Amino acid sequence: MISSPIRVLCVDDHPLMRDGIAFALQSQKDMELVGQAVDGEEALTLFRELRPDITLMDLQMPGMNGIATIEAIRKEFPKARIVVLTTYSGDVQASRALKAGALGYLLKSMLRTELLGTIRTVHAGGRRIPPEIASELAEHISADALSQREVEVLRSVAAGNSNKIVADELSITEDTVKGHMKSILSKLGANDRTHAVLIAIKRGFLDG
């Protein structure tokens, strides 16, 4: 008996990315691209309509980002199998995506070698997280997460603002900003403000 092909929905706001994935899937007898969406809202609409076996989800999209879209789809369809596509290897993004319910996590630089195998693994009920992302997650698993307020402070600092401007922006005192910065430096193991911003960007705290 011939099993029906794995039905794939691709969600990415870059036409070249969608074309590349469409091209890769069309040569596979066991896969079929059933739909393409350019943002989270469209992804949710198409998912309801098509009920794909696998959804490939970009994280950085305008409007509703990938993580919010994964959460929205999984809320309605808890068994949805979603594989994240991203240019970004930060552990915070990976951890958020996996918490939201993604079963696979792929860097776009790996698509050529890993895409088809990942789709098959996740469709068969497995998970697929590349070793470099798994080790990044493991390295930071016991690290203290930044609070929402600390992220706000750091985002303002990253924009080049002084403590005074940060304090005015967030309606807190300069001393409170200094306290937050001390905590941020300690949690991130950073030497100074610039170093803290660089680490936070690399790990994905300041993304989105």
Domain ranges of the chain: 6-140, 148-203
Tell me the CATH number for domain 6-140. Answer: 3.40.50.2300
pLDDT score for 202 = 81
Cα dihedral sign for 174, 180, 183, 186?
negative
CA–CA separation, 165 and 138 (whole Å): 36
Amino acid 143 reads: A
pLDDT score for 208 = 47
The per-residue pLDDT string of the chain (208 residues; one tens digit each, 9 = 90 and over) reads 457 999 999 999 999 999 999 999 999 999 999 999 999 999 999 999 999 999 999 988 888 889 999 999 999 999 999 999 988 767 778 888 888 999 999 988 888 899 999 999 999 999 998 887 887 777 666 567 788 899 899 999 999 999 999 999 999 999 999 999 999 898 888 889 999 998 888 887 876 4
* Unique residue bearing structure tokens 């693994």: 121
Find the length of the chain: 208
**Structure-block tokens of residue 130:** 């590349």
Pick the CATH number of 148-203 from 2.30.42.10, 1.10.260.40, 3.60.120.10, 1.10.10.10: 1.10.10.10
For residue 91, the 8-state DSSP code is H
pLDDT score for 1 = 46
pLDDT score for 2 = 56
Instruction: Give how far the C-alpha of residue 150 lies from the chain's centroid of Cα atoms, to the nearest Å.
Output: 20
Q: Are 137 and 102 in contact (CB under 8 A)?
A: no
Q: Are 106 and 165 in contact (CB under 8 A)?
A: no
CA–CA separation, 92 and 94 (whole Å): 5
DSSP per residue over 32-61, as a string? EEEEEESSHHHHHHHHHHH--SEEEEES--
pLDDT score for 143 = 65
pLDDT score for 141 = 64
pLDDT score for 207 = 63
